[in-house]
């Protein structure tokens, strides 16, 4: 009986592994491609987890390979407001420096106060796509 439960768990778990993502697709249904233990690792965070409404928010992303920053990766974010999804920067990409960090700043006027806003951060580098998620909640 235990063996059957374990097999069922492994089968269900394997169904959750996503397919690679094209960084030019700008939808909110894209799934992560980076996983702990891979050679590359993506991280994301915001400058303020509870910014004031109508202020500026900055999303940071860091791409590393073997613990070292990856320079030259292209980064953009999709901010998921309740009313709409917004790509930042609207055109183009942020580019990582030698420390592997890139940032994108934007106004958060579309955010509802006291409502969590999810932010997908995508990196494209040498034909690979990496993804991480962060969030913030705007306040009055």
pLDDT of residue 108: 87
What is the tens place of the pLDDT at every residue in 80-117? 998 899 999 999 999 999 999 999 999 987 778 888 99
Name the stretches of the chain with pLDDT < 50: 2-32, 34
C-beta contacts of 43-46 below 8 A and 24+ residues apart: 43/132, 44/77, 44/119, 44/121, 44/132, 44/133, 44/134, 45/134, 46/119, 46/134, 46/135, 46/136
Is CATH 2.60.40.1930 the classification given to domain 20-137?
A: yes
pLDDT of residue 100: 98
This prediction's pTM? 0.70
pLDDT of residue 71: 98
What is the residue extent of each domain of the chain? Answer: 20-137
pLDDT of residue 109: 78
pLDDT of residue 26: 34
Which pair of tokens denotes residue 79? 């901010």
pLDDT of residue 37: 53
In this structure, the dihedral spanned by the alpha carbons of residues 69, 116, 94 and 17, taken in order and rounded to 10 degrees, is 60
Give SS3 for 97: coil
């Amino acid at each position: 009986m235990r063996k059957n439960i374990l097999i069922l768990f492994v089968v269900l778990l394997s169904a959750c592994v996503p397919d690679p993502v094209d960084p030019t697709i700008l939808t909110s249904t894209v799934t992560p491609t980076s996983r702990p233990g891979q050679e590359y690792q993506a991280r994301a965070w915001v400058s303020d987890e509870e910014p004031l409404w109508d202020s500026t928010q900055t999303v940071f992303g860091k791409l590393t390979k073997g613990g070292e920053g990856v320079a030259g990766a292209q980064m953009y974010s999709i901010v998921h407001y309740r009313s709409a999804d917004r790509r930042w920067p609207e055109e183009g990409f942020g580019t990582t420096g030698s420390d592997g960090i890139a940032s994108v700043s934007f106004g958060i006027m579309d955010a509802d106060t006291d409502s969590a806003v999810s932010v997908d951060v995508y990196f494209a580098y040498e034909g690979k796509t990496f993804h991480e998620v962060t969030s913030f909640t705007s306040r009055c």
